[in-house]
């Protein structure tokens, strides 16, 4: 993999993940108690033997940059790097003063850096997906097929196809058809596959007859350069890739592991809680393909007389007697008071510990960081550095599926979300 460079796309504004993306970019959103979304593609690269990675960023980048700089450091002899390429204005005569207009535009504007070293292949990745993949296998298949472009694909049912880009391939695995988010049976039938073909190529179709694009592309260096320089297309999935099907040899790489695009509050919530299950579809405790993240010097979590079931607990927490935690994800430095109940929830914890002087300086009525005695949190996402007073019920008792901005919490898909740094004082109720 020494002749491959990876480009991780930092994502757009992340409006569907609001308010979690009000203070950070999508790849910087915390995941599974102690990680961030950006750790997934970078860890996949490192576990695949690929240690040349550029991360393209644009929106709300401060925390993402801090995390990358503090996590991914390489010695002087290995030649590896994880470098940030932030959106910038340049002195080029034809340079646009606009921000990135899409995924392809972002790569085009940074092409000089990607081509500065003699990498033969460029791997394009998303910064907000949850999966585990060995890119070395994708490269081997790409080379064996003599492909110009390879794309990772996952089998899906017809009922899920309308939200994805669906491909049709020939007997050799070459992509010969593509429809973006097919809404009619006629369009879907034009790209459907025989499940027997999928079965014959090492993946159990389980009756699934559609191949969905995962947004993971492997380009030959020359192919990518020509595709970007000979057009002003702004997006890989909607423009560059469909055009390449007609002009190049585009090969499919089948994948059948767990894969989730973390694009909405609902997908974020469900994916996190799924990792807390004993039968998690995405196993965190694995020796051969670990997820890397920022090393922290935190004490072990202290638990005293609490009940904890089917949950992930990060480092540095204090969980007091009588607390009940069920089917939840508890983040770093979280303090949970006596008899508090946290159920079916994601709690992101805190960025710091409060000192005695910090506590003494709090305004009257402001609770300390964490969760006070006897509070109840159900089906909620509590962002970092939040304060929940004793006895408060953080529960969507209104039953509303949606509740907008303008208050110290919102509801998305029936999930109550408390934004970062917010405080729920004594007596608070969801209006």
3-state per-residue secondary structure call for the chain = CCCEEEEEECCCCCHHHCCCCCCCCHHHCEECCCEECCHHHHHHHHHCCCCEEEEEECCCCHHHHHHHHHHCCCCCCCCCEEEEEECCCCCCCCCCCCCCCCHHHHHHCCHHHHCCCCCCEEEEEECCEEECCCHHHHHHHHHHHCCCEEEEEEEECHHHHCCCEEEEECCCCEEEEEEECCCCHHHHHCCCCCHHHHHHCCCCCCCCCEEEEEEEEEEEHHHHHHHHHCCCCCCHHHHHHHHHHHHCCEEEEECCCCEEECCCHHHHHHHHHHHCCCCCCCCCCCCCCCCCCCCCCCCCCEECCCEEECCEECCCCEECCCCEEECCEEEECCEECCCCEEECCEEEECCCCCCHHHHHCCCCCCCCCEECCCCEEECEEECCCCEECCCCEECCCCCCCCECCCCCCEEECCEEEECCCCEECCCCCCC
Res 42: pLDDT? 98
List, for residues 298-319, the tens digit of each pLDDT value: 999 999 999 999 999 999 999 9
Does the pLDDT of residue 16 top 90, yes or no? Answer: no
Q: Tell me the pTM.
A: 0.94
Give the range among 11-15, 38-42, 161-165, 318-322 with minimum mean pLDDT.
Answer: 11-15
Q: Could you tell me the residue ranges of all domains in the chain?
A: 4-275, 302-424
Identify any residues that bridge with 250 across adjacent strands, giving them in sequence order.
149
First vs last C-alpha separation in the chain? 55
Res 400: pLDDT? 85
Give the range among 25-34, 69-78, 253-262, 378-387 with minimum mean pLDDT.
Answer: 69-78
Res 357: pLDDT? 96
CA dihedral 137, 138, 142, 144 (to 10 degrees): 20
Res 92: pLDDT? 57
List, for residues 103-133, the tens digit of each pLDDT value: 888 898 888 888 888 899 999 999 999 999 9
The fold adopted by the segment(s) 4-275 is Spore Coat Polysaccharide Biosynthesis Protein SpsA; Chain A (3.90.550)
Region 12-41 average pLDDT: 90
**Domain range 302-424, CATH architecture:** 3 Solenoid (2.160)
Does the pLDDT of residue 93 top 90, yes or no? Answer: no
List, for residues 136-147, the tens digit of each pLDDT value: 999 999 999 999
Cβ-based neighbour number of residue 169 at 10 Å: 23
């Amino acid at each position: 993999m020494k002749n491959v460079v990876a480009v991780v796309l930092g994502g757009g504004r992340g409006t569907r993940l609001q308010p979690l993306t009000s203070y950070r970019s999508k790849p910087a959103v915390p995941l599974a108690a102690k990680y961030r979304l950006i750790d997934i593609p970078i860890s996949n690269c490192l576990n695949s033997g690929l240690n040349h990675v550029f991360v393209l960023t644009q929106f709300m980048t401060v925390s993402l940059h801090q995390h990358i700089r503090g996590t991914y450091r390489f010695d002087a002899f290995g030649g590896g790097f994880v470098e940030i390429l932030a959106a910038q204005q340049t002195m080029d005569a034809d340079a646009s003063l606009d921000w990135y207009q899409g995924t392809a535009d972002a790569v085009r504007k940074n092409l000089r850096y990607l081509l500065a070293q003699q990498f033969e292949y460029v791997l394009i990745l998303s910064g907000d997906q949850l999966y585990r993949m060995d890119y070395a296998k994708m490269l081997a298949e790409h080379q064996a097929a003599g492909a110009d472009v390879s794309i990772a694909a996952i089998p899906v049912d017809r009922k899920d196809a309308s939200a994805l880009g669906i491909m049709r391939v020939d007997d050799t695995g070459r992509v010969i058809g593509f429809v973006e988010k097919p809404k009619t049976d006629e369009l879907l039938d034009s790209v459907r596959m025989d499940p027997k073909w999928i079965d014959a190529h090492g993946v159990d179709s389980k009756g699934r007859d559609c191949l969905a694009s995962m947004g993971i592309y492997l380009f030959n260096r020359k192919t990518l350069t020509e595709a970007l320089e000979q057009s002003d297309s702004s997006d890989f999935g909607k423009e560059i890739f469909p055009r390449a099907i007609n002009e190049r040899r585009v090969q499919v790489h089948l994948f059948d592991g767990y894969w989730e695009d973390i694009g909405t509050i609902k997908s974020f919530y469900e994916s996190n809680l799924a990792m807390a299950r004993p039968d998690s579809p995405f196993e965190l405790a694995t020796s051969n393909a670990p997820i890397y993240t920022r090393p922290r010097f935190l004490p072990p979590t202290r638990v005293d007389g609490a009940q904890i079931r089917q949950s992930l607990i990060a480092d540095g927490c204090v969980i007091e007697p009588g607390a009940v935690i069920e089917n939840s994800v508890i983040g770093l430095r979280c303090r949970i008071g006596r008899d508090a109940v946290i159920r079916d929830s994601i709690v992101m914890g805190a960025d710091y510990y409060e000192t005695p002087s910090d506590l003494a300086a709090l305004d009257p009525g402001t609770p300390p960081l964490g969760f006070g005695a006897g509070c109840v949190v159900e089906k909620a996402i509590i962002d970092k550095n939040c304060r929940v007073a004793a006895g408060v019920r953080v529960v969507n008792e209104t039953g509303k599926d949606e509740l907008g901005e303008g208050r110290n919490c919102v509801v998305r898909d029936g999930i109550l979300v408390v934004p970062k740094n917010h405080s729920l004082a004594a007596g608070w109720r969801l209006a």
